[in-house]
A and B are shown apart, each in its own frame.
Chain A
Amino acid sequence: MLSGRLFGIGLRQPHYRDVFERRPALGFVEVHSENFFQEGGASLRALERARAAYPVSLHGVGLSLGATDEMSARHLGKLQRLAERIEPALVSEHLSWGRFGGEHFNDLLPMPCTEEALAWMVDRVDLVQSALRRPILVENLSAYVQFADDAMSDTAFLAALARRTGCQVLLDINNLYVNSINFGFDPARRLDDLEAELIGEIHLAGHEASDGLLIDTHGARTCPDVWTLYALACRRYGPKPTLIEWDTALPALDVLLDEVAIAQATSAAASTSSVCEAHHA
């Protein structure tokens, strides 16, 4: 668990040196778990250095949590070993699948939001949580197709999953926004699906438009609409640990730190205005 007043960045290799030398004031850093599944070597050493300076959040992209394929004991074992080594503050994965019939697509593929899929995800999250002996967080995706038999929103799905497994929700505000544009819904209303106590972390990132779709590239600044939605989420849920994610076309570290500063200011302003609203109520 992390305090809601903590802000972090996705720590990527080109920023290692800058981060280790400058030690910017960050509440935590987040890395992709699979990038540190080695038995030894320079990458793992760098992560241990980061861990000595900051709380670390392990964010998985390859467990294929929602797949109907059997879960890879090998993958889960490597995650377990890494978690024992790093003692992370948070461990998260996605509401997604990536492997079918033995083939791994190494991408975050969307789940149909049905009662059947929910029951399946409950079992899979239980499996991971008992292996790791800790609750995990599960994140909503950016999706580019929808399923005909979707019976609920992904946010309502995640809320039910969290209530039934004790996992927490990693709410990616940019993903929520990208989907709202691609599929045409009001993202603000989706915030109603989730109660504050279910949310363990918030992600912010940039996206790009391509051929009629918004694509979640993690390669740009957070857009104004997403900041607005974030402010709304802060007012609704109170402060939550918030992470700036940037994976492609990585800019200088200062750009990420500037995004962190905006997130801090947005969150602080939201709590002030919530307090005022409470006074006037």
Chain B
Amino acid sequence: MPSLFESQRAMARSIANPRASGGASPVFAGAAPRIERGLAVYRANVNAAAAKALAAAYPVILQVVGPEFFDALAREHRRAFPSTSGDLDEYGATFAAFLADFPHVSHLAYLPDLARLEWRVHEARAAADGRAWDATTIGEVASQRQDAIRITWAPGTAIVESQFPIARLWTLHQDDHEGEFTIDWSVAERALVARDGFAVTVQFLDEGEAAFLGAALDGGTLGHAATVALSRSPAFDLGRLLARAIAMNFLCGFTLEGTST
């Protein structure tokens, strides 16, 4: 009599590998063709669940490549990177790496970066809700102490840099996009992903802003991040960026040595 472990191993192998011929396995009851028919239901379910989860996390790539090709990509992705979690929200972090190596999409060179952006959007959607805070307090910090400010970013805030116009691509594929559908493929873009309430926004950043946010998101102080930004872009305007961060709710507090808000 096979043990529970052996039964599950045999079934897992039969599902993962269609050529494993589960019909011949002694763990199943019934005639071989009937067993194969049953296993085919499970194989289809497994692929469908993975494809559905991937489509939920990568709706723009789904639109870019079309549903049929996306299903094929999802199948190949699952073969290369099987799910390891019972929470399908966690499935698909590997899609960008998969796309970068998958020869059949090598002509769509921007796809891996677009995938990285979509994954950050997916994560931001599920991030903890930001808390209300009094934004006037940051203006009240004495000027000689401002360099020591360490900003608290809303959960989910992230930067994705690319040599392609990924933020523009993402924006054009949103249902609520209004305006032009043109795209300048020569533009390298830095995209900021941020939660504003329950909505996730993708915003363009210039070089100085991206340098500042990159340093500040890594935990750098305001003084350090501003120095990094100014070294990249002398025109960097800290006040304008902070005002935007406060208005769009991705700056949600700060700490100073010895105190916090």
A41–B127 touching, CB < 8 Å: yes
In the bound complex, do residue B85 and residue A100 qualify as a contact, i.e. CB atoms below 8 Å apart?
A: no
Which residues on B sit within 8 Å (CB–CB) of A120? 4
**Contact B3 A116, beta carbon cutoff 8 Å:** yes
11 contacts across the A-B interface (CB closer than 8 A): A40-B126, A41-B129, A68-B4, A75-B85, A75-B87, A106-B83, A109-B11, A114-B1, A146-B28, A146-B29, A146-B30
A54 at the interface (CB under 8 A from B): no
Best-buried of B15, B41, B89 by chain A (most CB within 10 Å):
B41
A114-B3 Cα distance, complex, nearest whole Å: 9
Residue pair A144, B127 in contact (C-beta under 8 Å): no
Number of interface residues of B (CB under 8 A): 46
Q: Which residues of A contact B8 (CB under 8 A)?
A: 67-68, 97, 100, 109
Complex contacts, A75 vs chain B, CB 8 Å: 85-87
Query: Inside 8 A of A38's CB, which chain B residues have their CB?
Result: 89, 125-127
Task: Please report the C-alpha to C-alpha distance between residue A78 and residue B41 in the assembled complex, in whole angstroms.
Answer: 29
Report the interface size class on chain A. Answer: 35 or more
Which residues from chain B sit less than 8 Å from chain A, CB to CB? 1-5, 7-9, 11-12, 15-16, 22, 26-30, 35, 37-39, 41-42, 45-46, 49-50, 53, 82-89, 91, 125-129, 155, 195, 198
Contact B127 A212 (CB under 8 A): no
Contact status B9-A37, CB under 8 Å: no
Inter-chain contact B2/A34, CB cutoff 8 Å = no
Report whether over half of chain B's contact residues are helix, strand or loop; otherwise say mixed: helix
User: Apart from A212-B37, A215-B41, what 11 extra A-B contacts exist at CB < 8 Å?
Assistant: A34-B89, A40-B126, A67-B8, A72-B86, A99-B84, A99-B86, A100-B11, A100-B12, A106-B53, A112-B7, A144-B37
Contact B127 A62 (CB under 8 A): no
Q: Does A224 contact B (CB under 8 A)?
A: no
- Are A213 and B37 within 8 A (Cβ)? yes
Q: How far is the CA of A104 from the CA of B50 in the complex (A)?
A: 10
A104 touching B37, Cβ below 8 Å: no
Flag if A145 contacts B12 (CB, 8 Å): no
